[in-house]
């Protein structure tokens, strides 16, 4: 294995460990923080699928975001707002976090296991080739990432409502 890959694996592992630690500890609540990750992940998901130049995959990704949003509003009730050292904090639901983490890891694994040029070539030809062979795996994972981004957005709506109530009531 090349040294660059080892550095990349270590870097990705550190990111994942920091996200796991932060998930357990919680985040300082603010409107911007509650919506920052979902907004970033939605934009990144759309960029990933738009780079494939395939309207069918793009449409399916948009649908996945909408379905993810609906599912996220259901699981969003498992998110929580709490006080820690006099600050309003929030913690996202473990289920949504696990789905996002699995999609993220799958995307990283796909980047290492499947050659970039073959995957991009498969995605940019036709809809049928995008849903077969290598293109299928790229499409599937990118759509799963879009779905998880939608889930994060739906959950953020719940968190925002809880946050507003906690600010107004002075209790989490």
pLDDT digits (tens, 9 = 90+) for 68-88: 999 999 988 889 999 999 899
Q: What is the separation, in whole angstroms, between the first and last Cα of the chain?
A: 49
Name the strand (E) or helix (H) holding 79: none
For residue 73, the SS3 value is: helix
In this structure, the strands spanning 27-28 and 87-91 are antiparallel
pLDDT digits (tens, 9 = 90+) for 90-122: 999 988 888 888 888 888 878 777 665 554 454
């Amino acid at each position: 294995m090349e040294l660059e890959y080892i550095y990349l694996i270590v870097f990705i592992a550190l990111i994942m460990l920091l996200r796991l630690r932060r998930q357990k500890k919680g985040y300082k609540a603010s409107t911007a923080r509650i919506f920052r990750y979902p907004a970033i992940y939605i934009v990144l998901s759309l960029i990933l699928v738009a780079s494939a130049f395939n309207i069918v995959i793009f449409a399916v990704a948009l649908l996945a975001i909408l379905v993810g949003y609906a599912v996220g509003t259901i699981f969003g009730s498992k998110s929580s707002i709490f006080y820690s050292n006099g600050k309003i904090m929030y913690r996202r639901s473990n289920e949504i976090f696990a789905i996002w983490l699995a999609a993220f890891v799958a995307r990283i694994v796909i980047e290492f296991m499947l050659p970039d040029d073959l995957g991009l070539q498969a995605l940019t030809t036709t809809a049928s080739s995008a849903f077969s062979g290598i293109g299928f795996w790229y499409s599937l994972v990118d759509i799963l990432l879009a779905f998880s981004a939608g889930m994060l957005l739906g959950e953020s709506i719940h968190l925002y409502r809880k946050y507003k109530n906690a600010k107004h009531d002075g209790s989490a």
